[in-house]
Copies of this chain bind each other. A is one copy, B any other.
Amino acid sequence: MSRPTIAAVARAAGVSVASVSRVLNGLPATEEMAKRVQRAVAELGYVPDSRARSLKVGRTFQLTLAVADVGNPVYVTMMRAVEEVVSAAGYRLVVTTTGPDVVDEVALVRGMARGYADGLVISPLRVDDDLIKSIQECDVPVVVAGNVPAKAGVDTVRANSPKGILLAVEHLLTTHRHKVAFINGPVDTVPGTARAKGFTDAMKANSLQPVAQVEAEDFTFAAGRKAGGELLDHSTDLDAVIAANDLLAVGVMHELAARGLRVPDDVAVIGMDDSELAEQTFPPLTSVNLGSAERGRRAAELLLARIEDDTRTPRRIVVQPSLSVRRSS
């Protein structure tokens, strides 16, 4: 038994489909009319078909947030922020996972093209020309939470991770830590590149020589632990490590513990993202707050604005970092 359509409701109420549609959309109608329609709707358990509706009006009232890995706590912060903004604006938010590969990101943007949602916020791990092209060609607005070249002409809101790393390095100096190592994620990713450069610059700016710099396989806990192992196999003389995100940081904290090194007494550890994990771990993790919540909020606002007016010139927002000092440093 199939669902009732608007025609069934109209028949049941003894009115035209147009009138049903009007009542449902709050357009002017007599008391009497509204009553009849509402009763018929209730009786039949009628629910409008969102596809048909959006096919006609051209909008789905759905927005998509695409992230690389739902297991990364930084994304839950961002998700919460985006959700808050878009639902206040009357949109439903759905989240999808892209995975780590560009091709999947491109496929997502392409597929988004028609009908799935009215807009997309994407936080890509890797960016290439294909991705940028697919974003430009996408017929629904997309804003990227991350870094793409200015000439791409797309709305972006990104973090300032070099500045964030500078904050971390300076904090370490303040606490008399000079022998600092860096655990990065893959350098062929957008955040990986930015952080590699940021670390190098920050060290140079403070006339510090890096103890070591190791590249984890991805931005996960397991990779962090493994990279921490590699680091400690080679460099024993260090008193601080900065990790490219919180998951990585927690991974090295475990490896440190496994080798009998205490945090922060022997080695200070600083993460990045200041995600919920940072306060949940033990000791609580000092972490560079890259403004994930604000980035999510701003990205959502940008998206909403562009849906409103597609002709506005693309904006590039960068949100500034701060340091959340906890007990690991």
Interface flag for A10 (CB, 8 Å): no
Q: Judge whether A52 is part of the interface by a CB distance below 8 angstroms.
A: yes
**Which residues on B sit within 8 Å (CB–CB) of A247?**
280
Residue of B nearest to A49 (CB): B114
Nearest B residue to A51 via CB reads: B115
Task: Name the one of B83, B276, B282 contacting A281, with C-beta atoms under 8 angstroms.
Answer: B282
Complex interface residues of chain A between 79 and 97 (CB less than 8 A to chain B): 79-80, 83, 92-97
A280 touching B282, Cβ below 8 Å? no
CB of A193 within 8 Å of the partner chain: no
A55 touches B (CB below 8 Å): yes
Min CB distance, A52 to chain B, in Å? 6
Q: How many copies of the shown chain assemble into the complex?
A: 2
Q: A55-B51, A139-B2, A253-B282 are in contact. Are A80 and B70 (CB under 8 A)?
A: yes
Kindly state the separation between the CA atoms of A2 and B139 in the bound complex, as whole angstroms: 8
Does A150 sit at the interface, judged by CB under 8 A?
no
* Interface size bracket, A side: 35 or more
One of B92, B137, B257, B276 near A221 (C-beta < 8 A): B276
Q: CA separation between A94 and B64, bound complex, in Å?
A: 9
B-facing mask of A211-225, CB < 8 A → 1, else 0? 000000000010000
In the complex, residue of chain B having the shortest beta-carbon distance to the beta carbon of A224: B280
A51–B48 contact, CB under 8 A? Answer: no
- Distance in angstroms from A105 CB to nearest chain B CB is 14
Tell me the chain A residues, 43-91 only, with Cβ under 8 Å from chain B.
45, 47-55, 60, 62, 64, 70-71, 73, 76, 79-80, 83
Residue A9 lies at the interface, judged by CB distance under 8 Å to chain B: no
Indicate whether A110 reaches chain B with its CB closer than 8 angstroms: yes
A115 touches which of B45, B50, B276, B280 (Cβ 8 Å): B50
Least CB separation from A66: chain B residue: B94
Interface membership of A294, Cβ < 8 A: no
What B residues does A53 contact at CB under 8 A?
Answer: 115
Q: Please report A residues at the B interface, Cβ cutoff 8 Å.
A: 2-3, 45, 47-55, 60, 62, 64, 70-71, 73, 76, 79-80, 83, 92-97, 110-111, 113-116, 137, 139, 221, 247, 250, 253-254, 257, 276-277, 279-284
